[in-house]
Chain A
Amino acid sequence: MDALRLLTPEITITIFAFAIISLDIAWNDENKSRRILPWLAFAGGLATLLMIFYIWPHVDQYNYTAATDAGREVPMLAVDRMSLFFKMIAVLTVILVGLSAGEYVEKHTPFRGEFYGLMLLAGLSIMLLVSSTNLIMIYLALEFLSITSYILTGFLRRDARSIEAALKYFLYGALASGVMLYGFSLLYGATGSVDLATIAGSLETTQAGLVVAAVILMLAGFGFKIALVPFHQWSPDAYEGAPTPITAFLSVGPKAAGLAVLIRVMVVALPAFDVNWTPILSLVAIFTMSVGNLVALWQTNMKRMLAYSSIAQAGYMLVGLAAWSAAPPSAVAYLGGVDAIMLFLLAYMFTNLGVFAIAIILENQMGTSEIADYAGLIRRSPYLSVALLIFFLSLVGIPPTSGFIGKLFVFGAAVNQGLYVLALFGVFNSVISVAYYFGVLRNVFFEKGSDESPIRVGVAMNTVVTITVVMTLLIALYGQPFIQLAADSAQILAANF
């Protein structure tokens, strides 16, 4: 019973999600649901975040043996510090996206209950996925995340582009899930177990070929969620067609979840295995960075450009995992590189959600998200222009912004393990990315726009932009607590639930 405390964040967010959906049905009063439901979603996110902080100090008391003593033969979830960190990312994403979605939802759809309810449930699925230590649980949570994402992507159901985006996302996702399941079945067939820790114990070196095949097939499923090249084709179309707040959510939430589960499978199930993963992971990282950045150069639509930019950012994160895999095997679980990924992800979350908040504000006002329409923004809203400058500096990785700290740690981890070529590719790619980020900024600061009317920014939007700007700067200027947090969070348990 006491261990149930560890699941309070999941329970809280589920209760709020279903409360929102039920109240939406119960209230016939249009006005009431319009005013209250967004705030209920916000309260749900905040309550879940509090629960995560509440159990944070207690996670070390529960470990694998405690769970098996309680009579659980098949562990399902691990509530460890790494999963709590990723849960925090997921819930912060839901809160920030929920806050910035208000006006957009108001404008485009009458179905508020479904929108906020499903978004909280998508948050729940990420929280489950980052904790899963069991192939069955991983598949369930991944499918949960997929289904909620498909629905949210196609949420503007009278908009052909939104429906097309959802359909493409769904078709690619179904295929990726199938391929991933085949990888799971190979692992299960070879070891007779679905538990990651048991799989690690029963793999034999004669099965190396099989494990490589299984990991590559599983990478299709996880890589689809993270949008790694070559599993990225769905993402530009889905990002462009989806409602913009959902695009913001897709660019952070599923990426974090996919990375977390990839890290967990690599660290727990295949720790000291006889295969050198570094070439595979490095190659995927290099392709992901390069394709994302090069194709982003040609984009004229902000959402599409950000889709390719976030593909490239995922490539940088994978550099951290490649660095982890390059470390010599040791008795203690080595997690260098993983903390770098988490720091990078924290910085990326605030920065990217900030950029999307600005994109949503401008789309609410102008009705488009073409980069050409950003011309002359400096005269219309100096605050948003400067915020955009800070966010883009952070995405490129120029100090004094959080993106610089993130990249410093990720590339630093690669250099530490002697992966100089990989780090060089990362730096080179950052230089390429200057071109398209600063292309937008040139429009904003130096071009003259046709419309000179000032941009109106609501309270919720203002809050989101301010929070993200402050955090983007704070992680760089006062980085020690955040670096410490990431380092402390690099702790993975086999399972405790």
Chain B
Amino acid sequence: MPFEIPFVQIVWWAMTACAIGGAIGVVSSNNLFHSALFLVLSLFGVAGYYVLLSAGFLAVVQLMVYIGAIVILVLFAIMFSRRMMKPTEDEMNRQWLVSVIVAAALFSWLIVVVNSVSWPVTSAAPTADTVLQLGLAFLGSYLIPFLVVGVLLSAALIGAIFLAREKVEAEEI
């Protein structure tokens, strides 16, 4: 038997390193700009998971929306405000010890719980045309959530415009 390279496993570990390492970088860096760049790494790792799970469409959406749009917007916002570019903020505050204890306790509890369960595994092969299936689901079984998302986004948009728009003459408190 020839030697086989466990390609999927290697990619999985690489993506995990990206996702977790990036997340640690986000919270431990005391420069906001660096944090945003680490966020790109973390989100890229998650996109890699989607590829491994044969969800190509989601992976592309993850790259385009999260990295391509949201993080870029965050980076612009940081660059436009001069004060934020300087690493002045301390990333630790008075409650760091309590946070560490609570987070560690929660983490170990979840580890125990997750390991105690036999997770069901589906034997079905992944569908090839995910985009077609996604479209059918949106306009079939998931029609109501799809419509609700539309209304939700309209409300969020109206709210965002309202909060960000310039001061109006009649406005007083």
Instruction: Give residues in A with beta carbon < 8 Å to B.
Output: 14, 18, 21, 72-74, 76-77, 108-111, 114, 117-118, 121, 124-125, 128, 134, 136-137, 140-141, 143-144, 147-148, 150-151, 154, 156-159, 186, 189-192, 206-207, 209-210, 212-213, 497
Main secondary structure of the interface of A (DSSP, over half): helix
Asked if B159 contacts A151 (CB within 8 A), the reply is yes
Instruction: Give residues in B with beta carbon < 8 Å to A.
Output: 109-110, 112-114, 116-120, 122, 141-142, 144-145, 148-149, 151-152, 154-156, 158-159, 162-163, 167-168, 170-173
Give CA–CA (A318, B21) in the complex, Å.
41
Can you sample 15 A-B contacts with CB below 8 Å? A21-B158, A110-B171, A114-B162, A121-B155, A124-B151, A137-B144, A137-B148, A140-B145, A140-B152, A141-B148, A158-B167, A186-B113, A207-B117, A209-B113, A213-B109
Give CA–CA (A206, B141) in the complex, Å.
31
Asked if A147 contacts B156 (CB within 8 A), the reply is yes
Note all chain B residues with C-beta closer than 8 A to A159: 173
Asked if B162 contacts A158 (CB within 8 A), the reply is no
Instruction: Say how far B46's CB is from chain A's closest CB, in angstroms.
Output: 13
Give CA–CA (A336, B16) in the complex, Å.
48
Asked if A147 contacts B117 (CB within 8 A), the reply is no
Give CA–CA (A429, B136) in the complex, Å.
54
Note all chain A residues with C-beta closer than 8 A to B119: 189-190
Asked if A206 contacts B162 (CB within 8 A), the reply is no
Asked if A151 contacts B163 (CB within 8 A), the reply is yes
Take A147-B155, A154-B163 as given contacts and tell me if A77 and B144 are in contact as well, using a CB distance cutoff of 8 Å: yes
Asked if A110 contacts B113 (CB within 8 A), the reply is no
Note all chain A residues with C-beta closer than 8 A to B159: 114, 118, 147-148, 150-151
Main secondary structure of the interface of B (DSSP, over half): helix
Give CA–CA (A76, B168) in the complex, Å.
42
Interface residue from A118, A150, A191, A210 paired with B116 (Cβ < 8 Å): A210
Instruction: Say how far B161's CB is from chain A's closest CB, in angstroms.
Output: 9
Note all chain B residues with C-beta closer than 8 A to A209: 112-113, 116-117
Give CA–CA (A76, B163) in the complex, Å.
32
Asked if A191 contacts B151 (CB within 8 A), the reply is no
Residue of A whose beta carbon sits closest to that of B148: A140
Give CA–CA (A178, B151) in the complex, Å.
22
Take A136-B142, A213-B109 as given contacts and tell me if A192 and B122 are in contact as well, using a CB distance cutoff of 8 Å: yes
Instruction: Say how far A472's CB is from chain B's closest CB, in angstroms.
Output: 33
The total of interchain contacts (Cβ-Cβ below 8 angstroms) comes to: 93
Most chain A CB neighbours (cut-off 10 Å) among B114, B119, B120, B144: B144
Give CA–CA (A93, B142) in the complex, Å.
30
Residue of B whose beta carbon sits closest to that of A150: B159
Instruction: Say how far B5's CB is from chain A's closest CB, in angstroms.
Output: 29
Most chain A CB neighbours (cut-off 10 Å) among B118, B155, B156, B158: B155
Give CA–CA (A73, B158) in the complex, Å.
34
Asked if B117 contacts A206 (CB within 8 A), the reply is yes
6 cross-chain pairs, A with B, having the tightest CB-CB distances, nearest first: A151-B159, A74-B141, A110-B170, A213-B113, A159-B173, A144-B152
Instruction: Say how far B141's CB is from chain A's closest CB, in angstroms.
Output: 4
Give CA–CA (A335, B156) in the complex, Å.
37
Asked if A111 contacts B162 (CB within 8 A), the reply is yes
Note all chain B residues with C-beta closer than 8 A to A109: 171
Residue of B whose beta carbon sits closest to that of A108: B173
Note all chain B residues with C-beta closer than 8 A to A190: 117, 119-120
Take A147-B156, A159-B173, A190-B117 as given contacts and tell me if A497 and B144 are in contact as well, using a CB distance cutoff of 8 Å: yes
Residue of A whose beta carbon sits closest to that of B112: A209
Residue of A whose beta carbon sits closest to that of B163: A157
Note all chain A residues with C-beta closer than 8 A to B114: 186, 210
Give CA–CA (A85, B85) in the complex, Å.
52
Interface residue from A18, A151, A191, A212 paired with B162 (Cβ < 8 Å): A151
Note all chain B residues with C-beta closer than 8 A to A76: 142, 144-145
Note all chain A residues with C-beta closer than 8 A to B144: 76-77, 137, 497
For the complex with contacts A109-B171, A207-B117, 6 further pairs of A-B residues with Cβ separation under 8 Å are A21-B158, A144-B148, A157-B171, A158-B167, A159-B173, A209-B113
Asked if B148 contacts A74 (CB within 8 A), the reply is no
Take A158-B171, A209-B117 as given contacts and tell me if A73 and B151 are in contact as well, using a CB distance cutoff of 8 Å: no
Residue of A whose beta carbon sits closest to that of B149: A140
Residue of B whose beta carbon sits closest to that of A216: B109
Give CA–CA (A58, B96) in the complex, Å.
56
Instruction: Say how far B28's CB is from chain A's closest CB, in angstroms.
Output: 19
Instruction: Say how far A249's CB is from chain B's closest CB, in angstroms.
Output: 15
Instruction: Say how far A409's CB is from chain B's closest CB, in angstroms.
Output: 34
Give CA–CA (A270, B103) in the complex, Å.
27
Give CA–CA (A192, B118) in the complex, Å.
13
Instruction: Say how far A231's CB is from chain B's closest CB, in angstroms.
Output: 14
Asked if B116 contacts A128 (CB within 8 A), the reply is no
Note all chain A residues with C-beta closer than 8 A to B116: 209-210
Interface residue from B120, B154, B163 paired with A192 (Cβ < 8 Å): B120
Instruction: Say how far B120's CB is from chain A's closest CB, in angstroms.
Output: 6
Instruction: Say how far A276's CB is from chain B's closest CB, in angstroms.
Output: 18
Residue of B whose beta carbon sits closest to that of A192: B120
Give CA–CA (A143, B145) in the complex, Å.
12
Give CA–CA (A118, B160) in the complex, Å.
12
Asked if A210 contacts B113 (CB within 8 A), the reply is yes
Note all chain A residues with C-beta closer than 8 A to B163: 151, 154, 157
Give CA–CA (A117, B151) in the complex, Å.
12
Give CA–CA (A157, B167) in the complex, Å.
9
Residue of A whose beta carbon sits closest to that of B159: A151
